[in-house]
């Protein structure tokens, strides 16, 4: 298979491309959602010994969703880690002590070009209130949970589930 033509069908808050895909002697038309690249982290406060997550309204779920800290990589970010440190500061109010890569994934590769860089982060000293950036219309509730509380939560967000399962499998068992 090969992409032979690419047109922007929509260019708003997100982009949607219309692709022509050559599949042998067939030409297929496909749409691809192009939101950009994102970073996310399961954040652990080493002083409080609690995980720090955020609850916010998500349009896709049409509900408030409990999830790990996440945000888009800006064009001026040097790398995913820089973007993630900024997001942790904005959303939680903490500078980042350490970052450990967990995974680089496409959450929905069948129709989306979005890529997530997922990390485990440790923090220790809150220096600001957090809660997101008003100019980005973020309204975040900081949620602090022990590991036991976190593992009992009903979670809807895939990146959050992936990061928590990583923690259960590797970090908690001191495999890393």
- Distance, C-alpha 8 to centroid of its chain: 25
Contact 32, 112 (CB under 8 A): yes
* Non-local CB neighbours of 94 within 8 Å, separated by 6+ positions: 43, 45, 52, 88, 123, 124, 125, 126, 127, 130
Number of H-type helices and E-type strands within the chain:
3, 10
DSSP 3-state of 93: coil
Q: Is there a binding annotation on residue 87? A: yes
Question: What CA–CA distance (Å, rounded) separates 20 from 127?
Answer: 50
Give me Rg for the CA atoms of the chain: 18
Question: What CA–CA distance (Å, rounded) separates 139 from 38?
Answer: 19
Q: Which residues are annotated as a binding site?
A: 70, 87, 91, 138
Q: Which residues are annotated as a binding site for Mg(2+)?
A: 70, 87, 91, 138
């Amino acid at each position: 298979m090969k992409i032979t033509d690419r047109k922007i069908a929509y260019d708003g808050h997100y982009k949607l491309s219309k692709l022509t895909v050559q599949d042998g002697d067939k030409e297929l038309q496909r749409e691809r959602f192009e939101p950009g690249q994102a970073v996310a982290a399961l954040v652990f406060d080493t002083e409080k010994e609690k995980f720090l997550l955020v609850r916010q309204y998500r349009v896709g779920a049409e509900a408030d969703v409990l999830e790990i800290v996440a945000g888009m990589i800006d064009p001026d970010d040097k790398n995913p880690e820089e973007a993630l440190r900024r997001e942790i500061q904005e959303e939680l109010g903490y500078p980042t002590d350490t970052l450990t890569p967990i995974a680089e994934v496409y959450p929905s590769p069948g129709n989306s070009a979005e890529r997530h860089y997922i990390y485990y982060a440790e923090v220790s000293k809150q220096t600001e209130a957090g809660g997101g950036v008003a100019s980005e219309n973020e309204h975040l509730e900081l949620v602090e949970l022990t590991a036991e509380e976190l593992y009992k939560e009903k979670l809807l967000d895939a990146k959050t589930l992936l990061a928590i399962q990583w923690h259960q499998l590797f970090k908690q068992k001191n495999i890393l």
